[in-house]
């Protein structure tokens, strides 16, 4: 997540945390995520996901969730930088990828492993692609 004044995303106030959650929920809808995928990406259970979706502005955004939101926002930004068309911006996460890291899996397959590390790795791979250093 880009912070203008170099403030750590982990020190954001509640309104900024809620804005990040709302933005990610919109992105997950555009990625056509299932409930199960949303739960894995956000690291939450079904009832918590339903609360977040119903009332994102009253959600308790933990440090873990904020870290996940940050990676998801950065993944989305990398896709917007890499691709000019909405089909790829929102569809790439579901496309099989045959680069070494993905080994035929889609980014969504990797990300829904449920770990923050998986989100980090997908972001890192997209970031390296942005720099022309696909690894």
Tens digits of per-residue pLDDT, 61-106? 999 999 999 999 999 999 999 998 999 999 999 999 988 889 999 9
Identify the band that residue 11 occupies on the pLDDT scale cut at 50, 70 and 90.
low
pLDDT band, residue 6 (cuts 50/70/90): very low
Name the residue with tokens 């982990």. Answer: 10
pLDDT class of 133 with cuts at 50, 70, 90: low
CB atoms within 10 A of CB 110: 19
- Whole-number pLDDT of residue 3: 42
| Confidence check: pLDDT of 59 > 60 | yes
Helical spans, DSSP H, in 1-135: 14-30, 35-42, 46-54, 63-82, 86-91, 107-111, 116-130
Total-model pTM: 0.86
Q: What is the pLDDT of residue 15?
A: 87
Cα separation, 34 vs 12, whole angstroms = 28
What is residue 103's DSSP assignment?
Answer: T
């Amino acid at each position: 997540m880009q912070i203008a004044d170099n403030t750590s995303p982990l020190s954001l106030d509640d309104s900024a945390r809620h804005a990040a959650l709302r933005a990610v929920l919109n992105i997950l809808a555009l990625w056509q995520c299932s409930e199960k995928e949303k739960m894995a990406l956000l690291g939450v259970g079904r009832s918590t996901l339903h609360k977040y979706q119903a009332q994102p502005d009253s959600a308790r955004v933990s440090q873990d969730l904020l870290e996940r939101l940050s990676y998801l926002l950065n993944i989305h930004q990398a896709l917007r930088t890499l691709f000019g068309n909405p089909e790829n911006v929102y569809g790439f996460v579901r496309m099989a990828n045959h680069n070494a890291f993905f080994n035929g899996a889609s980014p969504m397959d990797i990300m829904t492993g449920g770990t923050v590390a998986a989100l980090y790795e997908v972001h890192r791979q997209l970031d390296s692609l942005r720099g022309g250093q696909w690894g």
